[in-house]
Amino acid sequence: MKSALLNEYRRLTATSHGPAYLRLRRAIRSSIERGALEPGQVLPSERDLAQQLALSRVTVRKAIAGLVGDGVLRQRHGAGTFVAERIVKPLSRLTSFTEDLRARGLNPHSVFLEREVGEVTPEESMAMNLSPGAEVSRLYRLRYGADEPLAVERSSIPRAVLADPALVVDSLYEALEKLGCRPVRGLQRLRAVNFNAEQARLLKLPAGSAGLALERRSFLADGRVVEFTRSWYRGDLYDFVAELQSE
């Protein structure tokens, strides 16, 4: 068994109360966050963990099940429990949230916080090249990978492209594809941020936690802007990869 995990569990047991399965869950999570357990690494068996931590197997199973539900651990039949790989997002491809997560074997879904039609704000008008008074469809979504919310996302789409935001059942790009308006090119900006109180609450993180803010403007083949999206991703679960070429 990884001694780092054992030590972390002992430390938590000495300093905090509450059910043992929650302490074990926290010990595993923090061992992963500190790099003592690496993505892809196999965890000791339930039986070994129970023995070495002097816990019942039911307690160990409960701790692990919670982390599997959160997407932090994965189980493969017959092969045991692994630390989940992070969701690797290639920065240079114009893919959707749904596609990125499906590619990682997850089953993404969204909760709509708002879905409305309105007149462009000054910011949307500048970002989308729309005249004041033009109408946009807006989506405000909380986006999930497994059970845990991964990102908060605000999208604006010209009404000339998406007349009714209710056409987006779950994936924006799927809806745009059906309308023959899937973007072909995008400009994206990525920054490190600290979540504000609302974002932190929605993402179930302490206020001020670190995250990644993404802004994407994407275009149709004729140059029209099709979306202006701002996303705030949990920094601890997302991993962006950019492909670089010399020419």
Please give the residue ranges that form the binding site for ligand GLP (CB under 6 A).
Answer: 96-98, 153, 155, 171-174, 214, 216, 227, 229, 231
Q: How far is the CB of 240 from ligand GLP (least distance, A)?
A: 11
Q: How far is the CB of 154 from ligand GLP (least distance, A)?
A: 10
Q: Quick one: 135 or 174, whose CB is closer to ligand GLP?
A: 174
Its sign, for the CA torsion 198, 202, 207, 209, is: negative
Q: How far is the CB of 116 from ligand GLP (least distance, A)?
A: 16
Q: Quick one: 26 or 154, whose CB is closer to ligand GLP?
A: 154
Give Cα separations from 86 to 71, 74, 234, 235 (angstroms).
9, 11, 11, 11
Q: Quick one: 97 or 195, whose CB is closer to ligand GLP?
A: 97
| Secondary structure of the chain in HEC code, one letter for each residue | CCHHHHHHHHHHHHHCCCCHHHHHHHHHHHHHHCCCCCCCCECCCHHHHHHHHCCCHHHHHHHHHHHHHCCCEEEECCCEEEECCCEEEECCCCCCHHHHHHHCCCCCEEEEEEEEEEECCHHHHHHHCCCCCCEEEEEEEEEECCCCEEEEEEEEEECCCCCCHHHCCCCHHHHHHHCCCCCCEEEEEEEEEECCHHHHHHCCCCCCCEEEEEEEEEECCCCCEEEEEEEEEECCCEEEECCCCCC
Amino acid in position 247 = E
153 and 75 Cβ atoms separated by less than 8 Å: no
Q: Quick one: 96 or 125, whose CB is closer to ligand GLP?
A: 96
Q: How far is the CB of 138 from ligand GLP (least distance, A)?
A: 12
Q: How far is the CB of 152 from ligand GLP (least distance, A)?
A: 11
Q: Quick one: 138 or 216, whose CB is closer to ligand GLP?
A: 216
Q: How far is the CB of 78 from ligand GLP (least distance, A)?
A: 32
Q: Quick one: 8 or 153, whose CB is closer to ligand GLP?
A: 153
Q: How far is the CB of 201 from ligand GLP (least distance, A)?
A: 20
Q: Quick one: 26 or 109, whose CB is closer to ligand GLP?
A: 109
